[in-house]
Amino acid sequence: MKLIRPPRLYPGDPVAVVAASGPVNQEKFSAGVEALGGRYDLIYDESSLFARKGFLAGEDAHRLEVLNTAIRDPECRAIILARGGYGLTRILPGIDQAGLRVHPKAIVGYSDVTALLSMCYDARVASIHGPMVSDFGGLSDGDRDSLFNLLENSDPGEIFAGLETLVEGRARGRLMGGNLEVLSRLLGTPFQPNFEGAVLFLEEVGEFPYRVDRLLTHLEMAGVFESVAGILIGDFTDCDELEEGVVQPPSINDVLLERLGRLEVPVALGGAFGHGDRKRSLPVGVPVELDAGRGVLTAIEGAVS
């Protein structure tokens, strides 16, 4: 299948906001809408957006219906998720994957939205790993402009420079990845993405070093690291908390160096993306080049057309 790059956005274009995972905090959402400053015409229904059922933003069937409606809407130019949390994997089987190609549009999110970005990747529709509406109130100007640039500019170009070299080398492939925990949960399911030849990026939040070790070992045993062309590591936020009863546990950096430093593919650290303060956007599904020796990640194509 040919890669589809959705049409670029222009200021004022209609953009759907969907809560497909956890409940949305109204205060953070309102701050995000204000920070967006009317850049796009945000389309959402408050009764759906602020619905709650335990740790979910409403019933599975309703969240799925809202998401599929946005996917199928030919007038909707993009979908920005309201927030992450948990719940997208519960509705993956019902998402209109064919509709992603019939009415292609940029889909933006991270964290739990890794599952949806992985589906876009396998459907060969470019998407964006980037901040969600509830994040915008706390974004730096650089992170905000990073997303706007990917949505509105079809030109390729440098994504990151100044990365830290772990394993030298140069790799080309389609960029894919996201949250380590969510990605690991897709392994062995019908929604496991095709890692062959990809440049894989990973980030994580709130996992002890031994849990990150376990997740990385899972990916290795599943053959992921043998399949990919290269690896980029972003922020592993709040992963160095002390474990009760453990004296001087290894740091998260120790785990990353030990698990990834022995691989036979290029590996770079220090990508400014994830759950921390840095939220640069990444064009998922498009060809990129990772030069781990020089510490540079470059997009060969833009995320939009």
- The residue among 70, 8, 18 whose CA lies nearest residue 46 is 18
Q: Is 275 a catalytic residue?
A: yes
pLDDT at 79: 99
Catalytic residue among 48, 134, 204, 275: 275
Strands 267-269 and 282-284: unpaired
DSSP, res 136: G
Are 212 and 236 in contact by the 8 Å Cβ rule? The answer is: yes
pLDDT at 305: 97
pLDDT at 242: 67
Q: Report the alpha-carbon distance of residue 237 to residue 232 in Å, rounded.
A: 15
Two tokens, residue 18: 């969907």
Q: Is 59 a catalytic residue?
A: no
- The residue among 73, 79, 67 whose CA lies nearest residue 20 is 67
Hey, what domains does the chain have and what are their CATH numbers? 14-152 (3.40.50.10740), 158-299 (3.50.30.60)
Two tokens, residue 152: 């509105």
Strands 157-160 and 296-299: antiparallel
Measured CA angle at 44 (ends 286, 104), to 5 deg: 25
What ranges in 187-273 are assigned the alpha helix state H? 209-221, 224-227, 252-260
Catalytic residue among 181, 203, 289, 301: 203
- Phi-psi map region of 159: left, alpha, beta (phi>0 left; psi -120 to 50 alpha): alpha
Catalytic residue among 111, 118, 134, 146: 111
- Full-model pTM: 0.97
Instruction: Report, as ranges of residue numbers, the positions in the chain whose pLDDT lies below 70.
Output: 241-247
Q: Is 111 a catalytic residue?
A: yes
Q: Report the alpha-carbon distance of residue 208 to residue 236 in Å, rounded.
A: 10
DSSP, res 14: E
Question: Within 13 Å, how many C-alpha atoms sit on residue 165's CB side?
Answer: 10
- The residue among 284, 302, 301 whose CA lies nearest residue 122 is 284
Strands 78-81 and 170-179: unpaired
Are 303 and 106 in contact by the 8 Å Cβ rule? The answer is: yes
